[in-house]
Amino acid sequence: MDFIRQIDRGGFGRVDEVLLPDGSHGARKTFDPQFELTPDEYEKLLKRFIREVRVQSSLSPHIVVPIITADLDGDHPWYLMPLADKNYQSQINEDRENNTINLEAIADILNALDEIHNLGFVHRDLKPENILLHDEKWKLSDFGLVMPLNSSASRLTSTSSAWGTQNYMAPEQVTSFKDVTHLADIYSVGCIMHDLVDGSIRLPYQQHTCDGQLAPIIEKSTHMDPNHRFDNIRNLRDALITALSEPPDSSGKLSEDWLEFLENIEVWDIDKLDEFIKYLGSIDHDTEEADIICRHIDEDTLEFLLGIDPHSWEYIANYYIEWSSNVFSFAYCDVIVMRLIAIFDLGSPNIKAASIMAIARLGHSHNRWFVMQQLLNIASPRLDDNIAVRVSIDIKVNDAQDDFIKSAERINHSLNAFHPRIYQAIQEDVIPF
């Protein structure tokens, strides 16, 4: 590897651009502390560096920049990654200059963070410079401070230490860095969103806000009390992408009334639910009015309505499934798929099968990686056999083989990642009539 230039230099190491033997360019990160350390401190930091390599190399290359190779045994351990196209700070600068917001970038970041949280990790050093564009996807990097919750690995950090980046660090990271939860990463996301839409200098470890529609989201994300932030990335993603993907204002008094009713759904009873079903029956699922209403039917709404009347709920679930066949922005597909999964979790076998078909259609038609990954997760061999039978029938009846085949191929999964009955159905030719 031939040195080209230094990309970055921190207290614990450096990142260099290097020329590889095949002519491609890579980013080599080298452990190289630049200040005096006791033997114990040096050993602790070295172990953290080695853990960074092992964690990053174990995660999906869809959400992190992959590690090509590493040498962890020399005097200056290093690892090699592909050279990223740019970091998210560059994207923030472009968005602010053009007065736009790259919604797909935000969705990629949240999806990657959601996945590492689901695996039980907390990043603890999330900032724009650690989010990189690679292979046309925004991915996480720099896992030097990542921590598995409830793990002995937390012993690598002392109770009093406060590693991280001041402008993006949650207040609790100062007082007890090793005990922080995933809510610290949510605070960091709020700070990054503040960079994107405001750009003013922030006081560290404070609650932040801005002008405009993202103000309540940034305020909630950066609340001083972790328990008052968004509970998880799913809820933050839902709020953030929905706010940035809102359709045109309601064009009719009737839809405005129902939006207000949906905001106060906790007072609904069976009579109000019957009225809502009659209202939905009066509008086609591919209209602007349906779009306005369905964007306000979230997971909590679905769960509450099911408790009022399961039969009426199935009508609403089917209506939402039909509506999900429309055209949406790529990022908003991520919100829709999570609501379809909620419908799957709550629904009858018929609803579960219809949800899977809708997810496959959505993933294929929009070529959205996150949606296609959810399809592979939900339609795996773990799927109940009776549901898989129903899905296999629907695939053949609706000539939907391509929805499943393309979804698997585009995220580099083999078709046998599906339930065996689904795998068989997508391999069979459709019987001509």
For the segment 314-339, the average pLDDT, to the nearest whole number, is 96
pLDDT score recorded for residue 433: 41
> How many helices (H) and strands (E) are present in the chain, helices listed first?
18, 10
Residue type, 161: S
Supply the pLDDT for residue 75.
85
The answer to whether residue 250 scores a pLDDT higher than 70 is: no
Strand bridging mode 78-82 / 131-134:
unpaired
pLDDT, position 238: 94
CB distance 402 to 367 below 8 Å: no
Conformational region of residue 140, where left means phi above 0, alpha means psi within -120 to 50, and beta covers everything else: beta
Average pLDDT (120-134) is 95
Asked if residue 431 has pLDDT above 70, the reply is no
Best CA proximity match to 366, nearest among 35, 3, 107: 107
- Crossing angle for the helix pair 401-410 and 385-397, to the nearest 10 degrees: 110
In this predicted structure, the answer to whether residue 240 has a pLDDT above a threshold of 60 is yes
| pLDDT tens column, 103-112 | 999 999 999 9
Q: What is the pLDDT of residue 226?
A: 96
Instruction: Give the model confidence (pLDDT) of 377-389 as tens digits.
Output: 999 999 999 999 9
pLDDT tens digits, 192-211: 999 999 989 999 999 999 99
Using the structure block, give the residue that is written with the tokens 């007082």. Answer: 175
H/E stretch holding 3: strand 2-9
User: d(Cα 244, Cα 242) in Å, to the nearest integer?
Assistant: 5
Query: What ranges make up the beta strands (E) of 176-278?
Result: none
Encode pLDDT of 50-98 as tens digits.
999 999 999 999 999 999 999 999 889 999 999 999 999 999 999 999 9
Say what the pTM is: 0.89
Least confident of 46-50, 56-60, 172-176: 172-176
